[in-house]
Chains A and B, each alone.
Chain A
Amino acid sequence: QSVLTQPPSASGAPGQRITISCSGSYSNIGSNSVNWYQQVPGTAPKLLIYSTYHRPSGVPARFSGSKSGASASLAIGGLQSEDEADYYCAAWDDSQNGHYVFGTGTTVTVL
C-alpha cells in the first residue's frame, strides 16, 4: 500500500494549468527529495522531475515540481493532449531501514 497520497484524477482544457498534490510524512517527503514519473498506459514510467525541482533533458519546461514540508506538487502549465497519462510521485522513506515509496497515482485527462 502506498504511503504517498495523490488525488485519483485531474483534468483541464488545453492550455490550462493544473497541479497534482502528493501528501506524505516526515520520514519521506519531509526528509528527502521528491521525484515524479509520467506513465502513458501500456508503457514504462518515464522520469519527469527529479530531486524535487529538476527536469531531465527533453522534458518541457511547462512541467515543474515543488515541495513544502511533507507535501509536494507537480504543475503542468499549458496543458497539451499528449500530457494525458498517469503521474506518480515518489521518494525515499527513511523508516524501516529505508525503502522507496510511490504515490497512489493521478490520471490526467485533457478535456
Chain B
Amino acid sequence: QVQLQQWGAGLLKPSETLSLNCAVSGGSLSGHYGSWIRQTPGKGLEWIGDVNHSGGTNYNPSLKSRVTISTDRSKSQFSLKLSSVTAADTAVYYCARGLLGYFYMDVWGKGTTVIVSS
C-alpha cells in the first residue's frame, strides 16, 4: 500500500523559507506526480503546485513567484520550498500523489502544521 511520509520545519519567522519533504513508500513517483496542498486554519484547501517524475512542474499562479517544487527520483521523494513567508502562509501543508494524465490525488500525507510567527 502506497503511503506518503512528510516532514519539515514547523515554526518559521517572517521572511524565512519554508522547506518540506515528502517520501513515497510502497511505490514510487514513476508514472505519477507529487503535489503540495495547504489548508489555512478554518478555511479550505489551496493547491500549491506539483512535480512529475521527470521534474516537470506546475504552480499556482498566486504563489508561483515564491514556490519551488522538486523531485529526487533516486529517493522517491519530492520537496516544497516557499520563500519569504508571512503569517498568511501559516497552514497545514499536505503532500499528495496523483496519476499522470489524471487530475486527482489518491494518496495523501498526514499533513504538517507550519506556523509563521515573529
Q: A24 near B: Cβ within 8 Å?
A: no
Q: B26 near A: Cβ within 8 Å?
A: no
**Given A97-B61, A98-B58, A99-B58, CB of A105 within 8 Å of CB of B44:** yes
- A51 partner, pick from B45, B102, B110, beta carbons under 8 A: B102
Please tell me the size bucket of the interface on A. Answer: 20 to 34
Residues of A near B59 (CB, < 8 A) are 99
- CB pair A44–B44 under 8 Å, yes or no, is no
Contact digits for B97-112, partner A, Cβ 8 Å, 1 yes 0 no: 0000011111011110
- CB pair A44–B106 under 8 Å, yes or no, is no
- CB pair A105–B45 under 8 Å, yes or no, is yes
Please tell me the size bucket of the interface on B. Answer: 20 to 34
- CB pair A32–B103 under 8 Å, yes or no, is yes
- CB pair B105–A47 under 8 Å, yes or no, is yes
Residues of B near A56 (CB, < 8 A) are 106
Q: A104 near B: Cβ within 8 Å?
A: yes
Bound Cα distance A10, B109 (Å): 27
- CB pair B103–A33 under 8 Å, yes or no, is yes
Binding site for A on B (CB under 8 A): 35, 37, 44-47, 50, 58-61, 94, 102-106, 108-111
Binding site for B on A (CB under 8 A): 2, 32-33, 35, 37, 43-47, 50-51, 56, 88, 90-92, 96-105
